[in-house]
Structure 1
Amino acid sequence: MTPRSLPVLALLLAAAAACGSPAPAPAAPPPSAAPAVTAAPVESAPAATAWVMPDLVGANLQDAQNAVQSLTDFGIAVTTSTDATGAGRNQVLDANWTVCAQNIAPGETITADSRIDFAAVKLEEAC
C-alpha cells in the first residue's frame, strides 16, 4: 500500500462503518410552555324556523310556489303539485295551472321539513 492510498482506505472504512450502524434518533423536542388548549363551549342547535301556511287555493300554481319560497326565504324551496282532475297530467308549465287544493291547511305551521303539495287544474278548467 502506498501512503496516498491510506486516506482513501480510511474513508472507505468510515463509510462502511456508517452504513452498518443505524443513524442516531433525532432528539425529542423540548416540552412546550404553551398553555393547554380547551374546547369551545358547545352551543345548542337553533330552534327550527316555522312559518304559517298561507291560503293559496285559487292562486296561479307558479305564484303559489313563489309565495312559499318567499315566505320561507327558500327554507322550503320545492313544492310538488298533482293534477286535481285525477288524469295524472304533469304540470310542465306551472303558470298555466290554478291551485284547487293544498295538502297543508291555511294557518297550519310549516317548517323546512314540510312537504307541500298543490292539487291544480289548467287555467281554463274548473276545480
Structure 2
Amino acid sequence: MKNVAPYLRVVAGMFAAISLWLAVVETINGKFGNAAFQLVFALILGYLSIGKPLRDRRHRIRAERAAIAARAEAGHRAFLAGDLNAAMTPPPEPAPAPTVRRGVVIAAAIAAVLVIVGIVGDIADGLDSPSDDNATTTSQTTIYAEAPPSQSTWPATSPATTARTTAPVSVAPATTTPANAATTSAAPRLAVMPDVVCMDLQEAQDAIQAAGVFYSRSVDATGRGRAQVWDRNWIVVDQSPPPGTVIGEGDAVLSVVKDDEFSGC
C-alpha cells in the first residue's frame, strides 16, 4: 500500500482540479448549489492529495527538532554533572526524507496535461454546465426543423425602432453655443443592421462594427444560457432586428449555436 499511495494522491489531485473547474463553470452558469457541492468535493480531494502529505511533513520536522532540542538539553545537564562522555554524545541522526519516485512525477505531469487539455476544450465549447449534459441534440434538431433560422422568430420590431427606420434622421445645424455643441457630441451612433445569419459570431460582430455600431449582444439559441467564450466556435442562426433596420449601440441581438450543432446554414 505504501508504494501505491503516491499514485493515489496523484489521482486525487487530478480529480480535485477537475472538481474545482466544474465549480467555476457552475458559478458562471449561475448554479450556485452545484458549484458549492463541487467545491466541497474539490477541497476533500485536495486535502487527500496535498494537505495530508504537507501535514505529515510538518509533523516529521517538528519531531526532528524536538529530538535535537531534547538531546541538547540532556548534553547540557550531563556537562553540568561532570559527565563529559555523555555531554559529547552526537545528536540523533534525522530520519531520511521520503524520496520522490520518477514514476510519480511522470504520472503527475500526465494528470496535469489531461486537466489543462480538458479545461481548454471546455472553454472552446462554451463552458457548458455539467448539469445540462442530459439535453440531447435530437431536441435541438427538432427545434430548428420547426423554426428555420432563415425565418426570424423574434417579436415584431418595436415602435421606437420602426420610427427610427422610417423617419429621416435630422441633424441640427452646427452653432457656436456650448449647449448645442454638447447635444451634438452626445448624439447616439446609428447604423444599418447588416445580414449576419450563418456567419460565425466573430465575423458577425466585425460586420456590425464595420457598419458603425460597436456593441452587439449574443444569446444561446437553444435556451441553455451557455456563454460564448470563443466567438469563432459559434454560428449565428437568427438576428434581431432584421437586416436594413437602423440600430444603435446594444440593439443588435444575435442568436447562436455551436459549430457542431444543427444550424440550417
Amino acid at match of 2:236: V
Q: Which has the higher helix share?
A: 2
Aligned to 1:50: 190
Matched, 1:89 2:226: yes
Structure with more relative contact order (C-alpha pairs < 8 Å, separation 6 or more): 1
Matched, 1:100 2:232: no
Q: Which has the higher strand share?
A: 1
Q: 1:117 offset after TM fit, Å?
A: 1.4
Within-5 A mapping of 1:66-85 = 66-72=206-212, 76-85=213-222
SS, match of residue 67 in structure 1: helix
Aligned to 2:45: none
> What root-mean-square deviation, in Å, do the aligned CA atoms of Structure 1 and Structure 2 show?
2.1
Identify unmatched segments of 5+ residues in structure 2.
1-174
In the aligned structure 1, how far is the partner of 2:192 from the partner of 2:242? 10
Q: Deviations over 1:19-41 (max 9, x none)?
A: xxxxxxxxxxxxxxxxxxxxx93
Within-5 A mapping of 1:1-127 = 41-42=176-177, 44=180, 45-46=183-184, 48-72=188-212, 76-112=213-249, 114-127=250-263
Aligned length: 84
How does the TM-score come out when normalised to structure 2?
Answer: 0.29
Q: Deviations over 1:1-57 (max 9, x none)?
A: xxxxxxxxxxxxxxxxxxxxxxxxxxxxxxxxxxxxxxx931634365432101111
Q: 1:109 offset after TM fit, Å?
A: 0.6
Flag the 1:78–1:50 CA change in 2: closer, same or farther, 3 A: closer
Q: Percent identity?
A: 38
Flag the 1:67–1:92 CA change in 2: closer, same or farther, 3 A: same
Amino acid at match of 2:243: P
How does the TM-score come out when normalised to structure 1?
Answer: 0.58
In the aligned structure 2, how far is the partner of 1:41 from the partner of 1:63? 41
Q: 1:101 offset after TM fit, Å?
A: 0.8
Q: 1:78 offset after TM fit, Å?
A: 2.2
In the aligned structure 2, how far is the partner of 1:49 from the partner of 1:65? 16
Q: 1:82 offset after TM fit, Å?
A: 0.8
Identify unmatched segments of 5+ residues in structure 1.
1-39
In the aligned structure 1, how far is the partner of 2:196 from the partner of 2:209? 13
Q: 1:58 offset after TM fit, Å?
A: 0.6
Q: Deviations over 1:41-87 (max 9, x none)?
A: 31634365432101111111010001111221xxx322211111112
